[in-house]
Structure 1
């Protein structure tokens, strides 16, 4: 279940005076997303520095000599452009990307359809190519990501025909924005992480798909681009829930034979013997998969995957108000739910010399949720794969020898769940036949080194009461690993990301990033340097150049500030850590105050909740938090809290969610709110509201069902109110399999709807294909049967997370809380 956190591509609704005031925040702070552009063949780079709204400059950096300077004479270039009739200001040049020489003495750039060269204060037109100026097209399309960082893409159409621009929204649907004629360009306002598809206007044939980055960028539309695979379509590599790519290539290039699928069976083709069947029992219901054929390095054996199919489970939507016709239409989507029959892959072994199948026993992989290939060992004597048993309580690496025997090489088990979708990681070291493996076997997510030949653990690599979030880089020659760690730096928020390095044997641990905040970094091509940016919700981003080997700071590049924001009444979010339900585990959260905050007043509290176990959700890096301030400006304290059951602390912290999504960390949230209010008399814990979307919608309603003594009003958007109605993978991961009706009943808002206390607003989109809209409508049915009062906002044509993306829904939520927490009546929207 995904969280929707950002508004859709912007509309311009009529704003009430308070909301209009918060709109000023968008212009009062310029996001300083740092994007170094390394100059080819060097450790020099330039970057576009945004100074403040509509002011920027280009900076040149020589990493070896710790030199930072203006990339060129901005004033001279502005004057040269103005002399040619192109309006330019030295602090706001009409381009955002340059093609720079190593010493930055020469730059080339594009303005609209024209290209220029600026060298020795001389400006001339340029008719050559510009390197690295365009966004790189995506290979696989994806949905847009939520972001508050505004940016622009300048689409340049170099084709000889018109193209159309489509935004791919948060559900993967396309929305047409504009057409660009042949040879013309157009600047499109967007947000970082938003995805844009370009298609030919005539026939709608896809050309390419681009994703916006944090800085203004160019997307050049030219011949030779390869269209991205559309969202949700099959591809040769399988994307897992964790976003990792499973290599399914058949590795058959330059061989004297070929394996292929015919009549659902596996066949062998050779030049001498033609086509020969290797299997004969496959059917249309149990075919072999052409994308999952793995040939041994010595060409003597192959493993091919045979599979059964998912059961048919159709999610039905009636689109009541389609834009292209008057009559409603039915939409149908394949959508598995907990307990449904899943596709099962079964690896089968073949002897290519004898041209027969080798019998193997599936005793070590009898009921897979998923089987992922790791590949053959170097001498071709054993094929390895990762087996995730359905129910996610066993994760095993299995070796299948060429004689048909199978053995366990690595095994993790859990009485609760193995967090396969977020924490699975392995790296095979071919030369030594070792595997780096991520596991929570000691209660924290760490890396281990296994000898696959012996099927034994060699050593634990990382260790301690902190977690490895992800692996950044592995160097087999140096036997070192660079990784992202959370909680590694003492006396900091345990959710802060830091870069660290360690040796394979567990020695030499060093933290390469310094500064109290959450860090992101970008490497130089040589990996000699890295650019490190860190921030907190109360600390604007700071960026330094570091020596990659030691982490030593070489040069300060940018020191962000938010000096212009307080002029709007804005103040940074307050951070607070307080003991949770057990009295000692620290729970972390933030609070956002109204723009007109008065410490002598008392303010009701609204919690913005998302308790999905796949991640943590309290913001850690700096942003103006405009959405939160927009709500707070009406007279509320808006809080975010990560309670137990969310991810990326210890295993025990995470396990709280097991078969218990109803919990949602509420005992910790209540303890945090109580502790916060104890030292802040302006927080009124007798007036607490809550809102959330998706899993947050489930939790928002649960707050009124189980904690109505504290929470007085809730808005539940797109909620998964009964986990049996939602998608299979997400709900089985936390609620378990087989489906235990008593367990699922205990967390069901539908089953317990009669417990409702307080004011409730339900929001649902008619075409939500992430969470079945029936989940909300079954709550409606149960509330009616229980004779309960509630508000329902049903949005025709809308998808998942409409409560966050629709200006109308946001206004309805705001009016709801004003009415029930402030005791005021909002303006009559129907008055003439």
Structure 2
């Protein structure tokens, strides 16, 4: 059964629409409920409420007291329907019963919501429902509710509420909405002693003025309706200028000087007088000086002299332009591996005395230069060498111009720095001259504490055969780190994320999440509590409230409900793992079977491959959409696998890709499929196809070139078929620098004569990611090798898997070559 997600703007149970009159009952697709908790915390951070959407016209409000660990239901749709009928609120029980703008007042224990354009309040303690009235409004004067900031503007929360203005003056008042850009939009007027109730949203700002130009303030909508009596004019505050205005990012911290760039040279200009000084005279527009930063004490300037390189161009031809009868030639500057890159050399300018020094710091010839000030007179410069085998962090003293190396990390393979690391290698601390450093020098990605004064004393913070994946926060006062890691649970998928806290000295490593799945967390405002949510591809999200102190479970919240999906025919993939090429390392992936899968029958297998070393690629979280619906309906079993050479396992696991992108983990993938076929006997390993896009396109072709005895058919879309023809930054990270014979060894083009099996190549003629000539040259090489293959050029398309047409052709191709 096919189903789709309707294009509704839904925020976890509340459907928002700018005009409630246009709302209509819409048929919704089957879905999973309780996918996410969106808490609305009390001001003291000890309580929160949230809404569960449970289907069409079905919801509930849940209240949680985090201090005592209690969870209770406040109201739900069924109860509200009963109250509406009992109180004759024009509801017959059969019509649609959608509620909007639900909110909860912690002090008065009332829920409010909008139904059929009417606002209602429900007293939870008395179990009473009544129409919204003046007695339910928190009354105040303009003095008590007026915002301090007279330039406040609206923030969009999407939560409905109401604000009432009562005119206690003798003048005609005008009320205006202040939008998120700060613009005033007049809505109407209020006569003396009249009141105006205005539907609005929490966070929206309204301004009151009178007919004589008087100003009464700006007011913000709250979760509970409020009423404001407008009485006295107030003086509109003028915008206060900073004591030492910063003219721009190029002005000194003390505000006295400004750096300007003119014709490639740097000029020092006083912000208070006409004083002006030329810092450089030898710069040129094609060889300029570039300002990098002021010292914190405003006494020194750091700049680089830029030796730019204009990269050569790559071209695409738009053959089927929408207008005219001529093709359009497009071009872009594009650096290929081995190309010369822009270089930056370091310069120091002292203000008093006037000095200019070229610094003995490593010039930057990959990426853009960066600096970080470690004191008023010292700064550090990070430097990655071309080829990513060396990282240095060098400190320089502006007073002495002396430099010394703090970190010099080298690798026989690569240091992962481009395309993928989810957090910085260097995390500088503000309260001490230290940094949290990330390294794989132990064979696993871990955290280290580096004293910048004594860098030789690098102390490990985390260690073991597992991987730090993310730094969530660093608490310098308590000297603790909260981070995410994977691989610490031997009984779980090694890619599942869990969250931990640890002291700077490595002690008291505390796990803050629990459950077999990959986790995400959300903190209370004061970070004393966290909502821990985890899921798997075969498990809907599970939500629990935990303590940030020790990870202790405070109370369970929700478990995702996917019964509606299951009844509609949805099936989750099967997670499978088996040993890779070394006979020990577990390789993880998933299998999706046809709905009518019969173990006694034989099914061809398709592998969806993407072996880019910048990540892992097998999904780990629950999703509601059908898995590989078109492929399984066509009678294929589909697998997706993370073989060796991909990221977030050990350094050795990752290093398999080094100088060797043709490997793509294919030896592990073949063993995995064979092992899976021993358990699921309907998998026919004599009929295995493979497909992918971009790096996956390269991988798919490599499967036929280097493993043609196993893979029988492949479809490759927009593939990078020779790493010398793709972007420098990505390919030099894994294939290194300079270019050597290993580039040719991994080239699909150079090995075209090895093709076995059936191949379909697709490419978008306007691909600006991987130049399409990579595919064209492979076509040329296959023709010269007298190989049979299919080629589909996609006019007007860019970097793509082919879209709907390409998908249809791909499935048709596999049916032709893999079905009996």
TM-score over 0.5 for the alignment? yes
Tell me the secondary structure at the aligned position of residue 724 of structure 2. Answer: coil
Residue number in structure 1 paired with 2:344:
345
Residue number in structure 2 paired with 1:391:
387
Tell me the secondary structure at the aligned position of residue 772 of structure 1. Answer: coil
Question: Deviations 1:259-302 (Å, cap 9, x if unpaired)?
Answer: 22222212212245611011222211222234x3x212222212
Structure 2 CA distance for aligned equivalents of residues 440 and 72 of structure 1: 52
Within-5 A mapping of 1:432-451: 432-451=432-451
Residue number in structure 2 paired with 1:133:
157
Q: Mark the CA change 1:764 to 1:528 in structure 2 (over 3 Å): closer, same or farther.
A: same
Deviation at 1:123, TM superposition (A): 4.2
Whether 1:779 and 2:778 are equivalent positions in the alignment is yes
Residue number in structure 1 paired with 2:105:
101
Which has the larger displacement, 631-640 or 646-655?
631-640
- Tell me, yes or no, if the aligned pair for 1:43 and 1:525 is still in contact at 8 Å: no
Whether 1:409 and 2:406 are equivalent positions in the alignment is yes
Structure 1 CA distance for aligned equivalents of residues 533 and 443 of structure 2: 30
Residue number in structure 2 paired with 1:710:
710
Residue number in structure 1 paired with 2:288:
287
Residue number in structure 1 paired with 2:169:
none
Structure 1 CA distance for aligned equivalents of residues 579 and 813 of structure 2: 32
Residue number in structure 1 paired with 2:816:
819
Tell me the secondary structure at the aligned position of residue 802 of structure 1. Answer: coil
Within-5 A mapping of 1:720-759: 720-740=720-740, 742-759=741-758
Deviation at 1:369, TM superposition (A): 1.3
Structure 2 CA distance for aligned equivalents of residues 87 and 329 of structure 1: 63
TM-score of the superposition, structure 1-length normalised?
0.77
Q: Mark the CA change 1:564 to 1:331 in structure 2 (over 3 Å): closer, same or farther.
A: same
Residue number in structure 1 paired with 2:664:
664
RMSD over equivalenced CA pairs, Å: 3.5
Structure 2 CA distance for aligned equivalents of residues 251 and 489 of structure 1: 51
Tell me the secondary structure at the aligned position of residue 751 of structure 1. Answer: coil
Tell me the secondary structure at the aligned position of residue 588 of structure 2. Answer: strand
Tell me the secondary structure at the aligned position of residue 647 of structure 1. Answer: coil
Residue number in structure 1 paired with 2:70:
67
- Tell me, yes or no, if the aligned pair for 1:338 and 1:731 is still in contact at 8 Å: yes
Structure 1 CA distance for aligned equivalents of residues 262 and 582 of structure 2: 61
Whether 1:801 and 2:803 are equivalent positions in the alignment is no
Within-5 A mapping of 1:635-650: 635-650=635-650
Residue number in structure 1 paired with 2:606:
606
Q: Mark the CA change 1:711 to 1:625 in structure 2 (over 3 Å): closer, same or farther.
A: farther
Structure 2 CA distance for aligned equivalents of residues 251 and 79 of structure 1: 66
Structure 1: segments with no counterpart, 5+ residues: 1-6, 11-23, 136-154, 162-182, 186-247, 824-832
Tell me the secondary structure at the aligned position of residue 654 of structure 1. Answer: helix
Within-5 A mapping of 1:411-490: 411-421=408-418, 422-423=420-421, 424-490=424-490
Question: Deviations 1:348-404 (Å, cap 9, x if unpaired)?
Answer: 211111222123223xx14531355342123x1211121111111111111011121
Residue number in structure 2 paired with 1:368:
365
Whether 1:51 and 2:54 are equivalent positions in the alignment is yes
Structure 1 CA distance for aligned equivalents of residues 92 and 763 of structure 2: 48
Deviation at 1:704, TM superposition (A): 0.7
- Tell me, yes or no, if the aligned pair for 1:614 and 1:646 is still in contact at 8 Å: yes
- Tell me, yes or no, if the aligned pair for 1:573 and 1:591 is still in contact at 8 Å: yes
Q: Mark the CA change 1:357 to 1:389 in structure 2 (over 3 Å): closer, same or farther.
A: same
Tell me the secondary structure at the aligned position of residue 812 of structure 2. Answer: helix
Residue number in structure 1 paired with 2:311:
312
Residue number in structure 2 paired with 1:174:
none
Which has the larger displacement, 348-357 or 445-454?
348-357
Question: Deviations 1:729-788 (Å, cap 9, x if unpaired)?
Answer: 111111111122x22111111121221111111121222211111111211222222222
Tell me the secondary structure at the aligned position of residue 30 of structure 2. Answer: helix
- Tell me, yes or no, if the aligned pair for 2:253 and 2:296 is still in contact at 8 Å: no
Q: Mark the CA change 1:107 to 1:568 in structure 2 (over 3 Å): closer, same or farther.
A: closer
One of 130, 135, 151 as aligned partner of 1:122: 130
Deviation at 1:649, TM superposition (A): 0.5
Question: Deviations 1:680-725 (Å, cap 9, x if unpaired)?
Answer: 2211100101111111111011111111111011111111111122
Whether 1:38 and 2:41 are equivalent positions in the alignment is yes
Structure 1 CA distance for aligned equivalents of residues 425 and 312 of structure 2: 31
Structure 2 CA distance for aligned equivalents of residues 647 and 134 of structure 1: 39
Within-5 A mapping of 1:93-242: 93-95=98-100, 98-102=102-106, 105-106=109-110, 116=119, 118=121, 120=123, 121-124=129-132, 133-134=157-158
Residue number in structure 2 paired with 1:573:
573
- Tell me, yes or no, if the aligned pair for 1:39 and 1:101 is still in contact at 8 Å: no
- Tell me, yes or no, if the aligned pair for 2:715 and 2:759 is still in contact at 8 Å: yes
Structure 2 CA distance for aligned equivalents of residues 30 and 794 of structure 1: 42
Deviation at 1:105, TM superposition (A): 3.7
- Tell me, yes or no, if the aligned pair for 1:338 and 1:729 is still in contact at 8 Å: yes
Structure 1 CA distance for aligned equivalents of residues 91 and 324 of structure 2: 46
Q: Mark the CA change 1:672 to 1:76 in structure 2 (over 3 Å): closer, same or farther.
A: closer
Residue number in structure 2 paired with 1:20:
none
- Tell me, yes or no, if the aligned pair for 1:608 and 1:691 is still in contact at 8 Å: yes
Within-5 A mapping of 1:496-511: 496-511=496-511
Deviation at 1:333, TM superposition (A): 2.3
Structure 2 CA distance for aligned equivalents of residues 506 and 652 of structure 1: 24
- Tell me, yes or no, if the aligned pair for 1:48 and 1:56 is still in contact at 8 Å: yes
Deviation at 1:94, TM superposition (A): 5.0
Q: Mark the CA change 1:296 to 1:57 in structure 2 (over 3 Å): closer, same or farther.
A: same
Residue number in structure 1 paired with 2:171:
none
Question: Deviations 1:575-609 (Å, cap 9, x if unpaired)?
Answer: 22211111111111111111011111111111111
- Tell me, yes or no, if the aligned pair for 2:97 and 2:115 is still in contact at 8 Å: no
Structure 2 CA distance for aligned equivalents of residues 413 and 478 of structure 1: 32
Residue number in structure 2 paired with 1:631:
631
Structure 1 CA distance for aligned equivalents of residues 357 and 95 of structure 2: 73
Structure 2 CA distance for aligned equivalents of residues 683 and 766 of structure 1: 36
Q: Mark the CA change 1:160 to 1:125 in structure 2 (over 3 Å): closer, same or farther.
A: farther
Deviation at 1:254, TM superposition (A): 4.4
Count of aligned pairs between the two proteins:
693
Residue number in structure 2 paired with 1:296:
295
Structure 1 CA distance for aligned equivalents of residues 786 and 6 of structure 2: 39
- Tell me, yes or no, if the aligned pair for 1:46 and 1:71 is still in contact at 8 Å: no
Deviation at 1:26, TM superposition (A): 6.0
Structure 1 CA distance for aligned equivalents of residues 611 and 28 of structure 2: 28
Q: Mark the CA change 1:373 to 1:159 in structure 2 (over 3 Å): closer, same or farther.
A: closer
Deviation at 1:478, TM superposition (A): 0.5
Whether 1:694 and 2:694 are equivalent positions in the alignment is yes
